[in-house]
Each structure stands twice: as C-alpha cells, then as structure tokens.
Amino acid sequence: MREVQGAIRTLARPDRHGYHLPWLRQVRPAALSLDLAPLWLLAPDNGYGPDFLHPLPDAPLTSLDDELDAIRATRPEEAHRQLSAALAQTPGAALTRRGRAMLNDPAGTVRQLAGIYEHVWSALLSPHWPRLRAVLEADIAFHARRLADGGMQRLFTGLHPKLNWSDGALTATGSVSYPPEPGGQGLVLVPSVFFWPEAGSAFDPPWQSTVVYPARGVGGLWVQTGPTASTALIRLLGANRASILSALDSPSTTTALSHRHAMAMSSVSAHLSVLRDAGLLASRRYGHQVLYERTPLGMALATGGLL
C-alpha cells in the first residue's frame, strides 16, 4: 500500500517523475479513468497523510489482501483523528463537501479509500509488481548484508543523504529522530520504489518507528535490456542459462527472473537448479521466498574473469 500511495503522488508531482517516465506513459490512460479526488485531498505535497492508508508491514513479504484488511480494520475514532490531521494540511479542505463527508462518516471513508486503493493497485501496479518486488527484495538483501558486515553505521552510510547514524542515534537533516533502545519495538526500514527521491520517518504512537527510503536500483527499474551474456558464456552454458547468470547482479526470486526474461517459471526454476548444482549460484530462503545470487565462481564467469 505504501507503493500505491507513492505511485499516486508520482502521478501528480513532476519532481518524482525522473526514473518513472516509462511507467507513467504506460499507465496514464488507466489513471485517467480512476477517481482519485479523495486521495488528492488527503495527500498534500508536503505534510501529513493518514497513516492507516499504508499500514506497516509485519513481515518482508506481506500480501495485498493482508494490508487491505489492516486498512479496513482501522477504528473509526482513529480514522477520524488522522483524517482531520490530513485535511488540516490544506486550508479549507475540512470545510468542503467532500471533507465534511469524510469526517462525518469515518468508517465509510475507510471503506471507500480501501476500495480506491485496491482499484489503483489493480490498474497501475499489479501488472508491474514482479519487477517492483524484485528491486525491493534485492534492496533488502543488500542492506541486510551491510548490517551484518558493519552494524548500524555501515547500514546507514549511503542509505540516503538526509539520514545519518551517529552516537547511537539516527538523525534526519540534523534533528534527532529516533534513538533505539534494547528491548523496544526497534526501528523498521522500508525501501520504496515510488518514494524516490525522498526519505521520511514516522514515529507517532501507536505506529512502530519507521524510516522509508528509496530502494537501490530505481534507476534501472524500467530499463528493458539487461546485461548481455558473452558469446563464450552462451557456448558454455546455453543462451538461457547464460542470460540468467549474466543478469543476476543482485539477489532475485524465480518469479522476478521469470518476468525479467519472459520465460515460464518452470523453465527458470530448472535453469536455476542446474546453475546452483554447478556451483555458480547460491540460494537462501527469505520468508516464503527463495533468493538466488551468484557465487564468486558465478561472478567470475558472468564478468568474463574465467573465459
């Protein structure tokens, strides 16, 4: 749902278009058929938007239905409080006919907004989700490795220009945002494709402390062509396996690779098994997904170091 919200903002904000112009060209006809007026009213360019519209995921790989259920479960009094705060960001918004209707029936507004978000998802994001999810999964794997290698300092180095970790506290543009304490809920990092180029934080109860940042790889998200396998690698492995190995420059799932290479999942799975058995790939489970990445031998072959 956070990506849905980001996509909606991207439609209206030229400063977010940069990397997403190919997507915008594809979805604009579908976007014009959607009634997004209620969402525009609650999404000021700078300021508060209702938190219940993008519930914090309780696992790395949540489903659309789980998040929609979480939205619909929002208590009316909590929805009213957040809707009031969001409408207050735009002078006079709470006094408009639509604004008054939202505040007079917060439960109905929650159901309406959840329905709109579901339509936006189906029309604008669902066809592209394997590609988006692959970028998000690769980002999580990359930063999990940085955290394991060098702790919080290494994790936050380069995460975003606004974020800095020093003396046990996370700062954003100079003001202390969150000092984690052992035994607490901790800090959740949420990569986002459509949040680029910004970074944001949310720490208001009852929500868990969260930092949203642009995922790595956004620049190549909509690029159609990937790394090209060398002739020698194709002769050694065959065209499909060479293509998969060459393009696997970050951890990815069978689903993402199937989408990227326009191949059946069963075929991709068979090729991955062969490459893994040959020592060119390693696999590891992450939640309900299995991520594949090149081993040092696979890297050497893919980059021509052994050919």
* Residue 226 within a domain: no
pLDDT at 198: 82
Say whether both 83 and 183 belong to one domain: no
Q: Tell me how many domains the chain contains.
A: 3
pLDDT at 182: 42
Q: Per-residue b/e over 222-252, b at no fewer than 16 CB within 10 Å?
A: beeeeeebbeebbeebeebbbbbbbbbbbbb
- Segment 96-131, tens digit of pLDDT: 999 999 999 999 999 999 999 999 999 999 988 888
Say whether both 116 and 145 belong to one domain: no
pLDDT at 150: 85
CB neighbours of residue 199 within 10 Å: 18
pLDDT at 74: 93
Query: Could you list the residue range(s) of the whole structural domain that residue 64 is in?
Result: 2-129
pLDDT at 148: 85
pLDDT at 206: 63
Say whether both 7 and 121 belong to one domain: yes
Which of 293, 291, 285, 286 is closest to 253 using CA atoms? 291
Say whether both 59 and 107 belong to one domain: yes
Say whether both 125 and 154 belong to one domain: no
Q: Per-residue b/e over 60-94, b at no fewer than 16 CB within 10 Å?
A: beeebeebbebbeebeeeebbebbebbbebbeebb
User: What CATH number does the domain containing 258 carry?
Assistant: 1.10.10.10
Give CA–CA dist 102/145, Å, rounded.
44
pLDDT at 203: 63
pLDDT means per 10 residues in the chain (307 residues)?
Answer: 88 81 90 88 77 78 85 94 90 89 94 94 90 83 84 85 82 58 69 85 69 83 66 89 86 82 89 93 78 87 71
* Residue 225 within a domain: no
Tokens representing 163 are 């974020």
* Residue 197 within a domain: yes
* Residue 183 within a domain: yes
Answer with the one of 169, 187, 219 that is the final residue of a domain. 219
Say whether both 143 and 102 belong to one domain: no
Say whether both 122 and 165 belong to one domain: no
Q: Say what the pTM is.
A: 0.72
Say whether both 147 and 112 belong to one domain: no
pLDDT at 61: 67
Answer with the one of 171, 197, 219 that is the final residue of a domain. 219
- Please list the residues that pair with 165 across neighbouring strands: 170
| Secondary structure class of 299 (helix, strand, coil) | helix
| Beta strand residue intervals within the chain, DSSP E | 163-166, 169-172, 175-178, 188-192, 200-202, 210-214, 281-286, 289-294
pLDDT at 115: 94
Say whether both 271 and 296 belong to one domain: yes
